[in-house]
Structure 1
Amino acid sequence: MSIKRKDDIIQAVVVADTFGDEFLPLSCDIPLALFPLINKPLIDYTLEFLSLGGIEETFLFCCSHTDAIKAHINQSIKDKAGWSLTMKVNVIVSESCHSFGDCLRDLDRKGILRGNFVLLEPGTLSNIKLLPIVKKHNETSNKDKGAAMTLIYQEAGRDEEIVTAVNSNGRVLFHRKLGQNKERKVEFPLEIFLENSSVSLHHNLKDTHIAICSPSVLPLFSDNFDFQTKDDFVRGLLMNEEILGSTVYCHVTRGSNFGGAITNWRMYQSISHELENNWFYPLQAPILGKNGVVTGEKVTLNDNKKISNSIIGDNVTIGQNVQIENSFIFSNTKIANDVIITRSIIGPHCHIKSKSRITTSVIGQDVVTENEQFIENSLVQSTQPENCEETDKLGKKAFKLRLESSAEIGDPPVEESDDEAFTDSDDEELSYTQSPVPDDTKLFFTEVIDSLTRGFEDELRCENLILEINSSRYAYNVTVKEVNFNVIKAILIMSLRFPIGPQYFSQFVRLLSFFAPILKNYIRNEGAMLDSLQAIEDVAISNENVNEKWVMFTMKWFYDKDFVTEDVIMEWSKSLDAKSRFYGQVKPFIEWLEEAEEASSSDDE
């Protein structure tokens, strides 16, 4: 009888936290790991998948809601859940971690992983057979001592498109996640074709958010603090392959093998329906739907004829003449008569009072609406948020939540035609040329705009982008003033890349709102405010297509958001050439400020 050595045990790491605001306000009260997925906690599907896949020991890394997750795992073990019979689960707690990369660095310090391991990003579930892929990764590692990671992709990406180039051995030569940007043009480095006899290009792949890792992965994260996500890791290894001496491979699954992660509400809906339709077999939901509707235990339905394509949790009471469409109602919620809910998430322990209408919104835990209340395109929580405005209060236990990292819900659409926003030379290519600058500053600016463009396209956290910018700053001989100027200028230049049309300024607002945390980080004093105004001036002067409307809009946004003050604007305007084209563009805004000041003075008198 052979005894398995500890080093032969197949281990997995599951990071439980998202470190973002994708699931606010519900994630304030419920960890993603315990989100109900067809009335069963998400983590149960993940652990069942790992157990069926042959994993013998899993480390569940938690940074928030740790007590709730621990209690659920302990209760599942007591209840003899299927995964608990064949797999050991260890809950690792570290509340000081603020990113996926921080978690892996902490694991490296703890030294608890003994060999190759399976790495799962937050919210992952799958039915992919892991052991053959682990075996293949081991064989690859024996041939290529620098093999760090095997990425697992699924063919025919419908939700997240990956463009990658691999050689005949499956080694990744180029990798890019297209995200939500509309740009479909991808430029491949010429050297990957010159240096490899065979290159396969894939453009229809979906990231399963599962990877097989060599022991070198954790030290690589520890040695490179700017690796905050798995994508950062892959990008860094491909860019610095000769320096780091590490390579990345990929494995593409086909057929009935499915995998994915709940990274946002769109993916929550998509995976819920895939699970409901048995696409993840042998993973199964505890209850099956009927006619597009799934209902949990102890659900009171006075009339279910008007409920479609929705999932109803346990202990939910639904009144008469209620319409629910394409929505998720979490457990212990009460919905009164004559309520209409469409394309929304209703959290647990909520009370939706009679004749309320909720559409395309997320309602947090314990929210109580008022009678006949209309909620649209909103995030609503039961407690009052910081800097709450009067219009955000919907009731004693209902408050709108506004996020700095995205465009505010309810911003009025831009009605003016963008033909008015630019001069008649719209058909000409916008010029992004800048005044001659020292080489270091020019290289710094190039890296900043590359980082910001990638961050906006992939919706990366602004905190991570700030780390990248600061790293670039120390790599080049640039001053604080040059950092402030070039960061603001890079954001403004990105706005000129949007297509000219009726939605231009809406897209501009979305861009500025997304980068608001970065603006707040660098515009900290009057000197930085002056740098921002000079950046606006430089972009306007360097691009003849930009006219008064663009300048007025940009100045007013920075002023309204308190990134620049009236005093600094007035002092800066005195240095402008009164005969210049730019002064003519900014003059209406200066006059508007002066009129507002005079009106305020007369009111005080």
Structure 2
Amino acid sequence: MSSTFKQGGPKSKQNIQKEDVVQAVVIADSFNNKFAPLTNSSPEALLNLINVPLLDYTLECLGNSRVQEVILFCCSHADQIKKHIMKSKWKEKSSPMSINIIVSEDCRSLGDAMRDIDAKALIRGDFILLHGDLVSNVQMIPILEWHRKIQKQDKGAVMTVAYSQASPGHKLRSPDEEVVVAIDGASNQILFHQRVGGMKKVSFPLEILLSCDKVEVLHDILDPGIAICSPAIPPLFSDNFDFQSVDDLIKDLLINEEVLSSTLYCHRLRGEYAARVSSPRYYHAISLDIIHRWIFPLVPDCSICHDREPYMYLRHNVYKQKNVTLSKRCTLEEDIALGSGTIVGEGSVLARCSIGQNCRIGSGVHLSDCFIMDNVEIQDGCEVRFSIIASDVILKEGVCLKGNCLLANGVVVESKKILREINLVSSPLLSGKKNDFGDSKDQQLEQLGPKAFVYRPLEDSDSEDEAEVGEVGVKDWSRFHKLEAPPAEEEESDEESEEDSSDEEGLSKDPSPIPDDTSIFFSEVLDSLVRGYDEKLKCENLILEINSSRYAYNVTVKEVNVLVVRSIISIPNAKTEKHGNPAKTENHLSSQQLFQQLKPIVQYFLPILKNYIRNKDAQFDCLHAIEEFAVDSPEFHEIVVKFLHMLYDQDVLGEDAIIKWYSNCASDTREEVKHLHTKLTPFIRWLQEADEESE
């Protein structure tokens, strides 16, 4: 389902070919519930940021970059986004940018969105990929031009990822989202990419350091979710159903031999602002950056929304629309945006906050580091800190929000309530309504008042430890804001748990998780091949299964080659054990039986072997697997020459690789390998003689 709202556009820059239309794909959904319950009834893309919907900042950035066509992909609350676009300046005939809205309510990730876009064949060339919560003043055309210049030098360049600069400790950095990237210092090709997420150390493959004369390791960067993509990117998502994010794609492109011909490049933004409003802590930080004019020209006094009154810019970074009523004794300290029709009462003090249109702020109210939408009433004596309050909320006299509070539309908080670290909705029952995270079942909520009910995400609602549930939103704010410190014991326990989780993620010196994952991968591949052979499944489908398992268990290309060959050799014994007599302790085949069964199996799985064993390095991996299996299995040891001859005849193995492997076996001191070396001598001599005759 799609709707096109505008056609045509102006000429792009002179160095962009006239026939090229600059396209951008904007993913309007974040596919998480970090802003719930604010996003239960409206999309995150329309959440107001300094009284302007988030999506308008993204579209304004693209409009300023002379993008001509935007593909806006929506999942939840798509009807509201459509109405917003219809009323926006992008609907006007003079608009230089057309917007094509694509709706798919079943999508649950960026990967699903890209697969849907690929199925609709909407991409005509290189395009800009970003999210609907991006706030940026970046000029996209120069990055696109740089990407196209790289493509002329490297035909395999499929993506350029843009990173902004942010040193450790920067307010827009989160320990959970930090990234380490290694690039070729000469070409800016990405060689290594990893989300570190609290890890204490990162291990780089040695071959990365040896492959380039100069390698740069970047950690002072921030990922704003901007990427220039070639038309090959959507098909890559379609071909790999387990790709759910850009990170999944990058990881696979870097480690997957099948797509090694596809390369990634890094572009570092300098002097430009780009960040995603992906959680409440970033909402706070980016709001203040807008007020401090770091994102010029996207500032309150430069009207982004054509249907909103312009702001007047006053000293101390105070922005005020027309028809704002301020009492004589109220105090506006700094960093404030006031919407039209708002009234501020006697003795109220405001600092670092944004207030929407037609709000009523009573007397003696203290507001700091809070963000208030339209038509909110805050009665006398209230205090609000570090909170986001949606439209049509009423805080009655003496209410105190100490911090980390999200109040959804229509909530009414009764007098004298003191709240902290809480999410409230106005309805006692959420019935079948989906938020951005896909919550869709009914849940009964704890009541604090006639129109105030405690909200928790559905995935946490059944938790036995309510304290832990309450802390889900707390960490999102307290990492950044200087709130009241929790008890020392809790801090220590959090630090210990983070250290424990870091160790579990592979930072400890214990290498045991690697063989466990490899063993699981081997068993899954063997099961898939046995089932595929019994049911005569297509090898193309089995290759997809193997690739999916490889990605899930983070297995290297070398290990994949070895284990696929080992799995194929193991199929006869696996089938014998599966269908054998349970009363017998052993169900081994004889050497002759093993070879008779291996011949049709190898013939059947020849496409899989040739898919993975397709260069000299892969042939050595294959020979290593054969060698190890021959050492472990006396039956296979007896037929190893016949097996090698069969793979040689099928052009899976080349004579050069076999001869070189044979010479390497001579230096192995194991008795089994020495015996294998002796057994192979006649076959190797035959290969050498055949090679001499052909020459």
Question: Which TM-score tier does this pair reach, normalised by the shorter chain?
Answer: 0.5 to 0.7
Residue of structure 2 in register with 1:394 after alignment: 448
CA distance in 1, matches of 2:454, 2:409: 13
Q: Structure 2 residue aligned with 1:149, among 153, 159, 162?
A: 159
Residue of structure 1 in register with 2:114 after alignment: 104
Cα contact 2:43–2:77 (8 A) shared by 1 = yes
Displacement, 1:112?
1.2
AA in 1 matched with 2:251: R
CA distance in 2, matches of 1:190, 1:473: 17
AA in 2 matched with 1:403: P
Residue of structure 1 in register with 2:640 after alignment: none
Cα contact 1:334–1:351 (8 A) shared by 2 = yes
Residue of structure 2 in register with 1:16 after alignment: 28
Cα contact 2:429–2:444 (8 A) shared by 1 = no
AA in 2 matched with 1:47: L
Q: Structure 1 residue aligned with 2:188, among 164, 170, 189?
A: 170
1:300-315 equivalent positions in 2, closer than 5 A: 300-303=343-346, 305-315=348-358
Deviates more, 1:118-127 or 1:282-291: 282-291
Cα contact 2:288–2:335 (8 A) shared by 1 = no
Matched, 1:408 2:462: no
Residue of structure 1 in register with 2:281 after alignment: 266
Q: Structure 1 residue aligned with 2:202, among 178, 183, 186?
A: 186
Query: 1:316 and 1:214, CA in 2 relative to 1: closer, same or farther beyond 3 A?
Result: same
CA distance in 2, matches of 1:248, 1:473: 19
Matched, 1:42 2:54: yes
Query: 1:333 and 1:109, CA in 2 relative to 1: closer, same or farther beyond 3 A?
Result: same
Residue of structure 2 in register with 1:441 after alignment: 520
Query: 1:439 and 1:230, CA in 2 relative to 1: closer, same or farther beyond 3 A?
Result: closer
Query: 1:314 and 1:143, CA in 2 relative to 1: closer, same or farther beyond 3 A?
Result: same
* Structure 2 unpaired stretches of 5+: 1-10, 302-310, 319-333, 431-441, 461-467, 473-485, 498-502, 525-547, 568-695
Matched, 1:317 2:329: no
Residue of structure 1 in register with 2:371 after alignment: 328
Displacement, 1:415?
6.0
Q: Structure 2 residue aligned with 1:348, among 387, 391, 403?
A: 391
CA offsets 1:18-46 (integer angstroms, 9 cap, x no match)? 11111100011221211111111111111
CA distance in 2, matches of 1:235, 1:373: 49
Residue of structure 1 in register with 2:244 after alignment: 228
CA offsets 1:119-163 (integer angstroms, 9 cap, x no match)? 002301211121111111011112222211100111234223331
Cα contact 2:85–2:91 (8 A) shared by 1 = no
Q: Percent identity?
A: 36
AA in 1 matched with 2:179: I
CA offsets 1:301-327 (integer angstroms, 9 cap, x no match)? 113642111111111111111111111
Secondary structure at the aligned position of 2:217 is classed as: strand
CA distance in 2, matches of 1:155, 1:76: 32
AA in 1 matched with 2:139: K
Secondary structure at the aligned position of 2:247 is classed as: helix
CA distance in 1, matches of 2:246, 2:509: 35
Query: 1:85 and 1:185, CA in 2 relative to 1: closer, same or farther beyond 3 A?
Result: same
Residue of structure 2 in register with 1:196 after alignment: 212
Secondary structure at the aligned position of 1:220 is classed as: helix
Residue of structure 2 in register with 1:252 after alignment: 268
AA in 1 matched with 2:131: E
CA distance in 1, matches of 2:375, 2:195: 39
CA RMSD of aligned residues (A): 3.4
Residue of structure 2 in register with 1:213 after alignment: 229
AA in 2 matched with 1:206: L
CA distance in 2, matches of 1:468, 1:311: 49
Q: Structure 2 residue aligned with 1:368, among 412, 421, 424?
A: 412
1:116-131 equivalent positions in 2, closer than 5 A: 116-131=126-141
Query: 1:91 and 1:468, CA in 2 relative to 1: closer, same or farther beyond 3 A?
Result: farther
Matched, 1:280 2:334: no
Query: 1:443 and 1:345, CA in 2 relative to 1: closer, same or farther beyond 3 A?
Result: farther
Query: 1:192 and 1:438, CA in 2 relative to 1: closer, same or farther beyond 3 A?
Result: closer
CA distance in 2, matches of 1:31, 1:439: 42
Query: 1:388 and 1:115, CA in 2 relative to 1: closer, same or farther beyond 3 A?
Result: closer
Larger Rg: 2
CA distance in 2, matches of 1:441, 1:79: 54
AA in 1 matched with 2:362: G
Residue of structure 2 in register with 1:578 after alignment: none
Query: 1:184 and 1:438, CA in 2 relative to 1: closer, same or farther beyond 3 A?
Result: closer
CA distance in 2, matches of 1:252, 1:243: 25
CA distance in 2, matches of 1:69, 1:107: 18
CA distance in 2, matches of 1:444, 1:317: 65
CA offsets 1:150-203 (integer angstroms, 9 cap, x no match)? 001112342233311111111000112334x2x331111111011112211111
Matched, 1:25 2:104: no
Cα contact 2:348–2:365 (8 A) shared by 1 = no
Matched, 1:92 2:102: yes
CA distance in 1, matches of 2:207, 2:90: 57
Cα contact 2:54–2:132 (8 A) shared by 1 = no
Residue of structure 2 in register with 1:76 after alignment: 88
Displacement, 1:364?
0.9
CA distance in 1, matches of 2:259, 2:551: 21
CA distance in 1, matches of 2:552, 2:181: 27
Q: Structure 2 residue aligned with 1:62, among 74, 77, 84?
A: 74
Secondary structure at the aligned position of 2:122 is classed as: coil
Secondary structure at the aligned position of 2:237 is classed as: helix
AA in 1 matched with 2:53: P
1:490-501 equivalent positions in 2, closer than 5 A: none
Secondary structure at the aligned position of 2:413 is classed as: coil
Displacement, 1:243?
3.8
Displacement, 1:444?
8.2
Secondary structure at the aligned position of 1:67 is classed as: helix
CA distance in 1, matches of 2:145, 2:551: 40
Query: 1:430 and 1:58, CA in 2 relative to 1: closer, same or farther beyond 3 A?
Result: closer
CA offsets 1:350-369 (integer angstroms, 9 cap, x no match)? 11111111122111111111
Cα contact 1:226–1:468 (8 A) shared by 2 = no
